[in-house]
Structure 1
């Protein structure tokens, strides 16, 4: 009986797979609206360990003014990589008051680590070049519910 149980359990785990395999990338996360000056950002909120781990992996497209806001429990040096991420992205490492600490362009499928210059709780990923095209640099402030505005 034990010999049957182990293969059946493994088969069941393989069939169920990760959460995103049934419905594609995680598209049904909570959302919030942020602003960078006059620009609105429609951000999915990844605020659980599972949603932060998957992030924007396997996503083949994303609307121009959409991104993903990663929310951590407490400030720390946050580091991101692009394993299984197909879109080129820019990460904005954001302080509690909405100030962008630093920006990092990240290449698809790369294992290079991109880290915050100081401890932060928020990281906003947008299409690569989104911030640059709008003249948004480190020191600019985002506003919206996560930042108390």
Structure 2
């Protein structure tokens, strides 16, 4: 009976760990802060070019994760984007390397993210500061599992 109980606990724990790392969720760890964001993944050129354009309201713990085929220099802009956004520019390991706070709706000024960007997480403007997110924070998501992830699934 004891072995059955241990097996059930292990099975449940494995299921919980797996549920925490899903394509629909990005988990951010920054010091003792751990946050979950429900995300849409933009991993094709068409999805990335559309992004969050024309979105009128983004739920607080939601966002969009832009994923590139390989790390590269990226720039973003806010053309046709109706809400302010924070942009977290992330390297191949899932580590935040740059944060652009409160990008201005409709602004066509280029926002540079750096030279080795693999992914960009866009969340509601002001949340990065509200949650004290900093460069060096780690993201957990399946897209970072193909390489040496800082916080693997």
What is the alpha-carbon distance in structure 2 between the residues aligned to residue 134 and residue 71 of structure 1? 23
Cα deviation for residue 118 of structure 1 reads 2.8
Matched residue, 1:73: 69
- Specify every segment of 5 or more residues in structure 1 that has no aligned partner in the other structure, as ranges: 1-30
Look up the SS of the partner of 1:116 in the other structure: strand
1:129 corresponds, among 113, 126, 130, to: 126
Asked if residue 56 in structure 1 is aligned to residue 52 in structure 2, the reply is yes
Residue 42 (structure 2) pairs with residue 46 (structure 1): yes
In structure 2, distance between residues paired with 1:122 and 1:57: 18
TM-superposition CA deviations, 1:39-92 (whole Å, max 9, x none): 111110001111111100000001101000001111111100000000100111
**3-state SS in 2 of match to 1:118:** strand
Q: Which residue of 2 aligns with 1:20?
A: none
SS for the counterpart of 1:117 is strand
Report the counterpart of residue 35 of structure 1 in structure 2: 27
- Cross-structure match for 1:104: 100
> What secondary structure sits across from 2:115 in the alignment?
coil
1:120 aligns with 2:112: no
Structure 2: gaps spanning 5 or more residues = 1-22, 146-151
Please report the TM-score for the alignment, with normalisation by the length of structure 2.
0.75
Alignment length (residue pairs): 120
Higher normalized strand content (fraction of residues)? 2
Structure-1-length-normalised TM-score:
0.77
How many Å apart are 1:119 and its aligned residue? 1.3
Cα pair 1:43 1:68 within 8 Å, conserved: yes
Tell whether the 8 Å contact from 1:86 to 1:109 is kept in structure 2 after alignment. Answer: yes
**8 Å contact 1:32–1:145 — kept in the other structure?**
no
Partner of 1:25: none
